């Protein structure tokens, strides 16, 4: 099953210069908790922002770059269709699409679940989350985040399932 996983500011910003434009450790913990033991799919720029393959996850990069640009443990796919084929062959697994925006746009009709962190602040950025037709999804869970010294924004987690 394909799952989109992302965090966005109130204004829809998801990135700035290849990085997150905020520091929210609770969201990073959520990301690690739900993706560990599963598969993540990222575009080359998103993968590069990790700095390395994320441990205890199958890392897939969608790119036209040669596979030898990546560690042997990373699966390199060259198209959205290749992601669809991989997902169909692994339909019993959780496959988290974690960015960038082009993957979210291209796989929108294929995604089964949405895991969104909404941060109640506006951020400056150069990448925005593409418009999602939430009429095609049902909100199945929401959980407020805890604001504290380490997590300086109000935020909450949402999970949606395709209708």
Does the global pTM surpass 0.95?
yes
Helices (H), 23-161: 25-35, 44-50, 80-89, 101-106
CA 7/CA 75 separation, integer angstroms? 24
Return the pLDDT at 6: 98
Q: Are 143 and 157 in contact (CB under 8 A)?
A: yes
pLDDT of residue 68: 95
Residues near 74 by beta carbon (within 8 Å), at least 6 away in sequence: 47, 53, 59, 60, 61, 67
State which residues of the chain have pLDDT below 50: none
pLDDT at 150: 97
**Cα separation, 118 vs 96, whole angstroms:** 17
3-state secondary structure of 92: coil
Please state, in angstroms and rounded to a whole number, the distance separating the CA atoms of residues 95 and 4. Answer: 8
Strands (E), 51-90: 58-62, 75-77
Phi/psi at 80 (5° precision): -65, -35
- C-alpha span between 59 and 66 (Å, rounded): 16
Please list the alpha-helical segments (H only) found in 12-162.
25-35, 44-50, 80-89, 101-106
136-to-41, 58, 98, 161 alpha-carbon distances in Å: 22, 28, 20, 9
């Amino acid at each position: 099953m394909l799952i989109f996983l992302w965090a966005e500011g109130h204004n829809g910003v998801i990135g700035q210069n290849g990085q997150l434009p905020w520091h929210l450790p609770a969201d990073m913990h959520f990301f690690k908790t739900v993706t560990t033991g599963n598969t993540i799919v990222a575009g080359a720029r998103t993968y590069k922002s990790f700095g390395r393959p994320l441990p205890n996850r199958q890392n897939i990069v969608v790119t036209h770059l040669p596979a030898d640009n990546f560690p042997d443990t990373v699966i390199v796919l060259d198209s959205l269709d290749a992601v669809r084929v991989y997902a169909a062959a692994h339909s019993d697994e959780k496959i988290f699409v974690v960015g960038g925006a082009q993957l979210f746009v291209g796989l929108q009709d294929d995604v089964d679940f949405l895991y969104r962190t909404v941060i109640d602040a506006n951020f400056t950025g150069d990448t925005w989350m593409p418009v999602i037709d939430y009429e095609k999804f049902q909100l199945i869970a929401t959980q407020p985040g805890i604001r504290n010294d380490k997590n300086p924004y109000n935020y909450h987690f949402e999970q949606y399932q395709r209708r």
